[in-house]
Amino acid sequence: MRGHAAGVSVVIGLTGGIGSGKSTVARLFTELGAVVIDADAIVHELQGPGMPMLAELAGVFGDEILDSDGALDRKALGEIVFRDAEKLARLNAIVHPQVGAEFGRRLQDALAADEALIVLDIPLLFEGRRKGGRGASSLATQATVVVWAPAETQVERTIARDGCTREEALQRMRAQMPLDEKRDLADHVIDNSGSLEDTERQVRALFAELTEAAA
Ligand code: ADP
């Protein structure tokens, strides 16, 4: 036991917008002892070199989606499905069920291990729900947490992190549900517009609130 009552793991959904600080907050939760299950990391793992899903994707979309090392060339795959709804649907039909199953396995493991706080890191938490809640986002969470920052801060941090242009950052941001909308849907908001110390304080307080409520 880790100082909380048995069988009372708290499960929360964590999301944000590009550059808003979701990965940073997920790391802070991990440091406090939460178990973070990261949807994007699972996608990358399952599509790693030598994984069955990668072979399946190459079988459907051709070897041009592989780079010279046999790893997935995400840009090439993205270009194939970008303007072709049918191909995108085929891609999703391969990826979503397998990622969802692995996500579910990890959640079951964390629940079985009686972890105090389990954080489901899901970029499209609310978008998935809006479309009928399929896949990882339909997993039951007790609360949702949105990491928020002003749009201009999102753009600046994305440019600094990815070395992309302002236009590219804006384009990626506009493809997402507006972060202010996500903030309005969330049970808890981490305001990441200030310093990292300020954000860390908020995460620490939320961690305590969520785990104490369950104890
Ligand atoms: P997301 O996962 O939401 O896209 P990240 O956590 O990767 O966002 O944060 C985007 C970038 O901004 C990263 O380089 C990160 O180190 C930086 N960053 C995050 N929060 C802060 C902050 N409060 N102050 C300064 N830089 C930050």
Per-residue model confidence as pLDDT tens digits over 122-140: 998 998 765 554 444 456 7
| Low-confidence residues in the chain, pLDDT < 70 | 1-7, 129-139, 215
Name every residue whose Cβ is closer than 8 Å to that of residue 4 and which is 6 or more positions away in sequence.
116, 211, 214, 215
- 77-115 residue pLDDT tens: 999 998 899 999 999 999 999 999 999 999 999 999 999
- 8 Å CB contact between 177 and 127: yes
pLDDT at 3: 52
Ligand 1 atom showing the smallest separation from residue 26 Cα = 6
From CA 192, how far away is CA 190, in angstroms rounded? 6
Determine if ligand 1 sits within 6 Å of the CB of residue 20.
yes
List the domains of the chain with CATH numbers: 10-212 (3.40.50.300)
Tell the residue nearest (CA) to atom 14 of ligand 1. Answer: 161
- 8 Å CB contact between 70 and 131: no
For residue 12, the CA-to-ligand 1 centroid distance in Å is 20
Ligand 1 atom showing the smallest separation from residue 154 Cα = 10
Tell the residue nearest (CA) to atom 18 of ligand 1. Answer: 21
Name every residue whose Cβ is closer than 8 Å to that of residue 41 and which is 6 or more positions away in sequence.
121
- 8 Å CB contact between 46 and 98: yes
**Other C-beta atoms within 10 Å of 125: how many?**
27
Determine if ligand 1 sits within 6 Å of the CB of residue 100.
no
- 8 Å CB contact between 127 and 15: no
